[in-house]
Structure 1
Amino acid sequence: MHIVRNGLGPYVESWSPSAVTEDDVLSPAPVAALSALLDQPKPVTTAGDPLPPLWHWLYFLRWPAQLDLGDDGHPRHGHFLPTVPDRQRMFAGGRCEVVEPLRVGEPAQRVSGVSTVATKQGSTGELLFVTVRSEYLQHGATCVVEEQDIVYRSGRSAGRHPVDLDVTAEPHSEDAWRLPLRTGPALLFRFSALTANAHRIHYDAPYAQGVEGYPGLVVHGPLLVLTMLELVRRNAPSRPVRSVSYRLRRPAFAREHLLASGAPTGRNAALSIATHRERRHATAEVAFA
């Protein structure tokens, strides 16, 4: 693990969590639940079939005891949580390589470890970037390798998040692939339950607005990424995905009209999520096999 030291460096210079190995049977039930959330008439895949890229986020979930949650709903402690005081956590992006798709209903193993810790200066102060690398295996063979970039800040951000939250305005795109998404509180609540995400900004509007300063409930970053990948699954079902790189840029909020759009360019596809006020809340690049 490589550590770049700066102001937050002393808090993590001796922090070197060991790798963790976990097991899961990849039950068909979470696939059926997410399929229903995405308004699919039946599960998009069943036992023995390939799991769509990044749908492994439905598995290997951690459910800490209620008393181990902080006021924001995030766990106070965790094997890969750095010892930063008054910690705030944000999901920034990641990369995923698909060597072979995971199969639904078959035992799987995940081996995770911290690969990089670095501090950077952001517009609101110093940030700590932690990259967690996970390898997913079935029958002893590596199927998926993923890196997730998590950003931490120490202390609460000072200001509010001024946004023209017009829930009637619709975004537009000329891309060949388009998928609208309207994210109400019920959908965000269901996605939180599916992914064991208790962060209150996604389901507790008074907290999101009064404490965190957002204009409304915040749409989950992983939901934005999975929606972008739905463009590939629905429009290019016969093209196996070899890799995905994604970045979360600006938050989107409940009841806004969201539009996932993209287009294939040879062996790749460029994807994004837009609202009327922002063309790229999230972006992704997909490479086909």
Structure 2
Amino acid sequence: MSPDFDPEAIEHVSDVMDVARANALHATLGHDLKVEDGGILPPFFHQAYFWQPEPPSALGRDGHPKVGGIIPDLGLPRRMWAGGRLAFHTPLVAGVKATKVTRCETARQTTGRTGALAFVTLRHEVWQGDELCVMEWQDLVYRADPSPDAVRPQAPVARTDAQSAEGVGFDATQLFRYSALTFNGHRIHYDLPYARDIEGYDGLVVHGPLLAQLLMLKAQRELGDLATFSFRATAPLMDFEHAKLCRSGTDFWVSGPDDRQCMVASATAAS
């Protein structure tokens, strides 16, 4: 079933791609790197810009802005960034104003193994001047609250044929800093009682886009400048868990404890 939404509704948000925020994101990721005015921003760093602050009265229980605007109210309280696709047309330049244009491309409701579900796809265009820099499709999933007696779905098993792999760990401080830099108020990333008692996780959840960011930077290091990147979250990773960032050819994935597959991705290099 497709809920009512206005496919013609558009949001415009402008921001200066200041170097302070980019360098704070580098530091949060553990990089000893600096961006200068006029320099090129790494792929996906636009996530640290285009904030849309709302007062507390306009937030839902999970810390996200209440739905009902460009995202229709689907009557489901749990939100997850399930995946996305990006096309990189030209690099974003630090210190220069940019504009993000957002539309709700699709919204549909269905029923899965865990109950009612809704899928929303937002399309973002990031422009500097009259030049389109990035096209992004952001896939969101909305769910009902978990039943206390519900059986957790089995996580898929990660591939074991990696040509390259590197270990990565997280902690609550890093998740908090990433939430702050991306202005992501979702409480599953910093509020342990909420994450555990309301949404049913074992700990604080590592952001899907944080994992995607790490895979994207690995892809850029090993393939060169990127033309496209797509990713899909397949199982949650907790703040106390270690994982591996893996690659085979143009396929990338995050392998968690017990070989749990947490994310899969693919990239193409710019010609």
Per-residue CA distance 1:14-68 (angstroms, 9 max, x = gap): 555611122111111121111111211122x332122211111111122111222
Q: 1:20-169 counterparts in 2 under 5 A?
A: 20-43=11-34, 45-77=35-67, 79-153=69-143, 155-159=144-148
Per-residue CA distance 1:115-153 (angstroms, 9 max, x = gap): 112223311123111111111111201111111111123
- CA gap 1:185/1:99 in 2 versus in 1, 3 angstroms: same
Query: Which residue of the partner structure matches residue 244 of structure 2?
Result: 259
**Structure 1: gaps spanning 5 or more residues:** 1-5, 165-170
Give TM-score, length-normalised by structure 2.
0.90
Q: Percent identity?
A: 34
Q: CA deviation at 1:276?
A: 2.1
**Structure 2: gaps spanning 5 or more residues:** none
Paired with 2:67 and 2:84, the residues of 1 have a C-alpha distance of 23
Q: CA deviation at 1:78?
A: 5.5
Paired with 2:74 and 2:176, the residues of 1 have a C-alpha distance of 28
2:233 alignment partner, one of 232, 236, 248: 248
Paired with 2:52 and 2:5, the residues of 1 have a C-alpha distance of 25
Contact 1:217/1:254, CA 8 A, preserved across alignment: yes
- Tell me whether 1:229 sits opposite 2:216 in the alignment: yes
Per-residue CA distance 1:184-209 (angstroms, 9 max, x = gap): 11111111111111111111111211
Contact 2:7/2:103, CA 8 A, preserved across alignment: no
Q: Which amino acid aligns with 1:106?
A: V
Q: Give the alignment's Cα RMSD to 1 decimal.
A: 2.2
Q: CA deviation at 1:221?
A: 0.5
Give TM-score, length-normalised by structure 1.
0.85
Contact 1:179/1:231, CA 8 A, preserved across alignment: no
- CA gap 1:14/1:74 in 2 versus in 1, 3 angstroms: closer
Paired with 2:174 and 2:5, the residues of 1 have a C-alpha distance of 40
Q: Which amino acid aligns with 1:254?
A: D
Contact 1:161/1:215, CA 8 A, preserved across alignment: no
Between the two proteins, the alignment pairs up a number of residues equal to: 266
After TM superposition, the runs of 4+ consecutive aligned structure 1 residues lying more than 3 A away are: 14-17, 159-164, 171-174, 233-236
Q: Which amino acid aligns with 1:284?
A: A
